[in-house]
Structure 1
C-alpha cells in the first residue's frame, strides 16, 4: 500500500524556482518514496534530526519524516547539499 506524499508550501516554492529537469527528477523520487520511504537505496536516516530521513537527487537533498499512523510522508525541505546539513 502506497504512502501519501504531502509537501510543505515552502518546498513547493523551492521546486518552482528550480530548473525543470531537476524539479522533474525530484518529483520522480517523491513517487518512488511513496512506494517505500525506508528503502536504503533511496534514503537514509538523519543522525542530527531523529525521525527524519534524507534522499539524494543529484546535488539536492529531500528531507522528510514518515507518519506511520496515517501512512503519510511529510516533505519538510528540499535543499542543495551545501545548505541541507547546516
Structure 2
C-alpha cells in the first residue's frame, strides 16, 4: 500500500467533485464502495518525504487516473503533532 511504502502515518481523505479535462466528476453521497473514485488526499510531511510520496503517486496512479499533486510549504500551529520541530 502507498501509505506503508512511503511511511506516512497520518492523512485526510475528502470526497470531491469538479469539472476538468475528463468532464464533470460528481461526489457520491452514500455509496462507500465508490467513495475512492473521486477523492483529495492531504498529507502533511517533511519535504523529503513529500517528494517520495509524489513520485510514488505518479508511478502508481497517473497513467490510469486523473490526478494532481500539489507540493507546498505549510505552517502548522502544533508542529510536534506532525513530527516536526517547533
Q: State TM-score, norm by structure 1.
A: 0.30
Pick the structure with more strand per residue.
1
From the CA coordinates, give the structure whose radius of gyration is larger. 2
Greater RCO structure (CA 8 Å; 6+ sep) = 1
